[in-house]
Amino acid sequence: MKFNAGRTDATKSAPVSLTELATRPGEVTVSDLWAVLSPEERRRGLALSLGEDRDVRRTLVTLLRKTPRYRSFRPTAFSSWSAEQFADALKAPGLLTPDVMQAALIALHVQDRAGMLAAFLDAVGIPHRDGLITDSVESLPVTDAQLAGAADDLAARFPREQVTLYFLTLLVLDPALWGGLASWLTRHA
């Protein structure tokens, strides 16, 4: 899956809100989405995505040891850290790679917002298990009008900021499949 990982134009300024991102959905990157999350959302997404995976933890230790605050720490000092401690240390923008940010965004949605994901995927006819897509999807089984109707319904049932973040995340992860959401986002920004 190809995703829009980072900026290609260094002259663009950092986004200030999800609403601003929704006005230009085709330009949004994983880094943009990460930057507009609250520190608590970043912390929660990271904590949910970390789990007990040793490879992920090694990568995070390497990232942390590149920062001035943790440069003098020995790698073994991190061995007893919980996922929450790593998340607290890494939640500031600019410390993570796009892959880590993407994993945290996905975890935040799948684990904390499964009801919203399931409602939307049901409405557009995509097989899923608790909001997690179970099969490869090459194209949406709905028209653009039906997609817009499902988006309207979701926005009426769930907090607007969560819906906007979810739709922007879908667009960043798979713009070819979810491109129909771009016009909905710009109309509702």
Q: What is the pLDDT of residues 20-47, one digit of tens each?
A: 999 999 999 999 999 999 888 988 898 8
Greater confidence, 71 or 21? 21
CB under 8 Å to 79, separation ≥6 — which residues? none
Whether 112 maps to a domain, the answer reads: yes
Q: Quote the DSSP letter at residue 13.
A: P
Nearest to 112 by CA among 33, 52, 47: 47
Q: How many domains does the chain fold into?
A: 1
- What pLDDT, on the 0 to 100 scale, is given for residue 79? 84
Whether 2 maps to a domain, the answer reads: no
Which residue intervals of the chain are DSSP H helices?
18-22, 30-36, 39-50, 54-65, 83-90, 98-112, 114-124, 144-157, 160-173, 175-178, 181-187
- pLDDT surpasses 90 at 83: no
- pLDDT surpasses 90 at 117: yes
Per-residue pLDDT band at 63 (split at 50, 70, 90): confident
In whole angstroms, give the CA distance from residue 17 to residue 46: 20
Greater confidence, 3 or 144? 144
- What pLDDT, on the 0 to 100 scale, is given for residue 11? 39
Write out the residue range of the structural domain in which residue 107 sits: 18-187
Whether 11 maps to a domain, the answer reads: no
- What pLDDT, on the 0 to 100 scale, is given for residue 9? 41
Nearest to 157 by CA among 189, 122, 186: 122
Whether 3 maps to a domain, the answer reads: no
Whether 71 maps to a domain, the answer reads: yes
CB 77, CB 85: distance < 8 Å: no
Whether 13 maps to a domain, the answer reads: no
Nearest to 50 by CA among 78, 22, 69, 29: 78
Whether 1 maps to a domain, the answer reads: no
- pLDDT surpasses 80 at 154: yes
Whether 67 maps to a domain, the answer reads: yes
In whole angstroms, give the CA distance from residue 52 to residue 141: 37
Predicted model pTM: 0.82
Question: Which residue do the tokens 């995976």 mark?
Answer: 53
